[in-house]
Structure 1
Amino acid sequence: MKRETTMPSPQTVPIAARRRGRASGWVVLVIALVAMVGFSQAMELFWTRIDQHRFPWAYDRSGRPTLTGTWVGSLTTARGARRGLYLDLELEPLKFGGGSRGHRHGAFRRAQSDKLVGELLLCAGPYREQRLELHGNELADDASRFRLSFRVPEGTTPADGLTPSNLRGMWNGRDSLRVEADLYLRRGASAITDGADAETGAPQPGALHRAALAEFRATCHRLASTR
């Protein structure tokens, strides 16, 4: 003779037991979240250490001089026009959690990807300052050679006059840069280059040294006094 068993209804389960079940569920969830956060932070540190080993020229913590930072100097065109330069170079932040199927993790930089971002300020005097956004990459493992490209920030009106589109630089591994810039002439909405023109037809040379924004402002004032 079979004996039927009946499952206890929720009403017959002791309230204390139900509360313990809910509490243990929350504990498991919290532990899982903490473990996920800890793992994510450990992986970020792992990829950052790899990046620092691959590109020590971009990390202050390497204990070596870096290409990143702020640089001040000037550029002189073939017709003798001088422009003050302020170059602020930063390392493009790692994109943790990126990447796509069939590719490496998003935190691993590709050799040809842009690693440098920042801004360039130019002046021909204390009241004529132009700002450009930049992106670029090193052309040598030690960043002794690099290239940069410039663009006018969105929502701003480009100033008329000579403007760099690209720049190639050489870094001595310490505190000085030698650069060559490709210039074009901005006139309203037009960007003009002429292969036969002395200023827009050939790269224009310049030099910079490691310095802060205050020295750039002083350079702009000096340019005005020598005009």
Structure 2
Amino acid sequence: MTQLKIGFLIYPGVIQLDVMGAYQVLAFPPNVQAHLVWKTLTPVVSNEGLTLTPTVTLADCPPLDVICVPGGGLGQVEVMKDAEVLHFLQQQATSAQYVTSVCTGSMILAAAGLLQGYKATCHWAFRDQLAMMGVEVVPQRVVIDRNRVTGAGVTSGIDFGLTLLGLLCGEQVAKMTQLMMEYRPEPPFNAGGPETASKEIVEPLLQLGRPLVDAFLAQTKDTIAQIKVDN
């Protein structure tokens, strides 16, 4: 089987399950070499307080078959305006088979100019902001548009990973991976999206997340302004 190099961008404040849900799936086949990519090899602390250790730097990262960008907390705001990171993504995108994201990682791709003119998805609370950046937002768990593959919020990284694995290695390998993981979700509550959760659940969550939403919105507006200047 052809060797595949898959790189996951990590950074301080990244949502660890955005990374690890997809990583667990995509690292299963023996022909996959998975990398955790950041500026240095110094461990970074996720939004949840878990420590993740990069395996390769931006400068030393080989050309990737797949580049995957996860979402994050307030640390993502810094990444969205980091010229070094955005340039890295742009360079990798020129040769990658697939340019991908999980959750609000699609906003980082959009900040790098890599999703304009494509259909994509992200966490439900940030769809409007992604649309502001010139992306055709589709409210689905996983969206494929040519060689762009994007997953919605957090846990969708598993569905995203299985979908992408099917594209890379075939349906049989993806199904074997699903079986290995015993992935057959039966959530105890029907509150996994704003369409099914009650207002008594949605509204307090939005209030709790308001500082993050506002920070993302401010950076989104700055990114839009920068894109206009560049064009």
Structure number with greater Rg is: 1
- Flag the structure with higher helix content: 2
Q: Same fold (TM over 0.5)?
A: no
Normalising to structure 1: TM-score of the pair? Answer: 0.23
